[in-house]
Amino acid sequence: MSFVILRAMNDRQEQWQAAERLALTLAEGGLQRMAARTLAVFLFTDQDSVTAGEIAERLDASAGAVSGAVKSLLSVGLIERLPAPGSRREHYRLRDDAWARLFTSQNTAFQAMLQAARTGVETTAEHDPAHRRLTQMRDFYEFMLDEIPAMLDRWRRHRQPDRRM
Amino acid sequence: MSFVILRAMNDRQEQWQAAERLALTLAEGGLQRMAARTLAVFLFTDQDSVTAGEIAERLDASAGAVSGAVKSLLSVGLIERLPAPGSRREHYRLRDDAWARLFTSQNTAFQAMLQAARTGVETTAEHDPAHRRLTQMRDFYEFMLDEIPAMLDRWRRHRQPDRRM
DNA sequence: ACGACACTTCAGAAATTTCTGAAACTTCGG
DNA sequence: CCGAAGTTTCAGAAATTTCTGAAGTGTCGT
């Protein structure tokens, strides 16, 4: 008759593992390690919001490390500080549009690539093989920078169909 | 009357700077530093192909570092080894579809994220806030994994319109 | 077969990133 | 105003990533 309890323990374990995997993947994708682990906590916590202290406890990390991670997640717009509910502790939670934002943050990098390509195209002669390569690179990033916003629009519509009117 | 020469020198300088900037951006995007610098060489070189030795000279790096970088670029499919033209040295060049591939390589990361989200959704109860968050995450990545191939198709068509028939 | 040249591998050095611990700062309750 | 709880900052420690140098491997020309 302890099947239910055992099942619950299994689920907890699996959740923890999934969170860890997620953090590793996010880290490979360029996020700092601690920021990635923190983001995983925001996703998998069973509370509506968490404090820095709770994150530190859950990750067994120092308050300092958590503070830095939270700051960086805030700056990218993935989490938000909640209007203080009369407590001394700051509460944070995942933003509703976190995923779209995570994706959007690529745009900065794309802009930089595009600029580098443009400079290359301009300073390079017609017959130079580099000119052809850089032109193609420029065209690709121009295309992408145009497509991404459209894609995110489709996502938002996909999520909440027919809000218009 | 040395205007032309001066202009050429300026261009070279700018090209080098653009290449450096590009390498930094690529590195921030997750590519290893040396791999990023090497990729920049492939882009900006005025030759059709380059050898590992030439890259090492251009970047003032050790042969070992270049070897590793080339290997990793090969494994991601951004460059290709040219059928040896009877020389002892291996020649490499940027692949024609390098940019699409660079973008596509994200798919692996996306798959991992999706899997983590699915595990989370399955092991989480209806009323748990985590369930809602993980469901949204899952939906986002499912959507994206569906959209990306379509986007790359549009890019390929955009590049070489009307090949059909 | 041999020698020369180019590339690869890998152990350890160097550089960089990331984390901790402790002190400083802020804010709330009394 | 003071004290406690929570958070932030930051110097230096720890961990990780990245590179070099040297030895090893393979291949081509002779």
- pLDDT tens digits along A85-125: 556 678 999 999 999 988 887 788 889 899 999 999 999 99
Mean pLDDT of A18-27: 89
- Whole-number pLDDT of residue B86: 58
- A88 CA, C30 C1': Å apart: 15
Closest-CA distance, B29 to chain A, in angstroms, reads 6
Characterize the bridge pairing of strands A50-51 and A79-81: unpaired
Confidence of residue A28 (pLDDT cuts 50, 70, 90): confident
B22 C-beta neighbours (distance < 10 Å), count: 25
pLDDT along chain B (165 residues), means of 10: 63 82 88 95 95 95 96 94 74 93 84 91 92 95 93 90 61
Query: What's the pLDDT at A122?
Result: 92
Q: For residue B5, what pLDDT is reported? A: 60
Nearest alpha-carbon partner for B14 in A118, A113, A135, A141: A118
| pLDDT of A165 higher than 60 | no
Among candidates B21, B94, B130 on the partner chain, residue whose Cβ is nearest the Cβ of A46: B130
Residue B46 CA and nucleotide D22 C1' are separated, in Å, by: 32
Contact, A84 CB vs strand C, < 7 Å: yes
Q: What is the DSSP letter of B85?
A: -
Q: Provide the pLDDT for residue A18.
A: 86
Output the distance from A9 CA to C28 C1' rounded to whole Å: 39
Q: Please tell me the distance from the alpha carbon of residue B66 to that of residue B57, in angstroms, as a whole number.
A: 10
Which residue, among B22, B101, B102, B96, has the nearest Cα to A111 in the 3D structure? Answer: B22
Task: For residue A29, say whether its CB is under 7 Å from any atom of strand C.
Answer: no
In sequence order, the 6+-apart residues with CB closer than 8 A to the CB of B56 are B62, B63, B65, B66
Q: What is the DSSP string of B111-147?
A: HHHHHHHHHHHHTS-TTSHHHHHHHHHHHHHHHHHHH
Please state, in angstroms and as integers, the Cα–Cα distance from residue A88 to each residue in A36, A44, A56, A85, B58, following that order. Answer: 26, 24, 17, 9, 57
Q: What pLDDT, on a 0 to 100 scale, did the predictor assign at position B64?
A: 96
Give the separation between CA A42 and CA A48, rounded to whole angstroms. Answer: 9
Query: Residue type for A71, please?
Result: K
pLDDT the model gives residue A68: 95
B18-44: per-residue pLDDT in tens?
Answer: 898 899 989 988 899 999 999 999 999
CA B116 to chain centre: 25
Measured between CB atoms, which of A44, A112, A129 is closest to B130? A44
Among B10, B124, B137, the residue with its CB nearest the CB of A99 is B137
DSSP state of B47: S
What's the pLDDT score for residue B2? 67
pLDDT value of residue A90: 87
pLDDT, residue B107, reads 84
Nucleotides of D under 7 A from a protein CB: 4-11, 17-23, 26-29
Q: What is the mean pLDDT of chain A?
A: 87
Q: Which two tokens stand for residue A66?
A: 């958590």
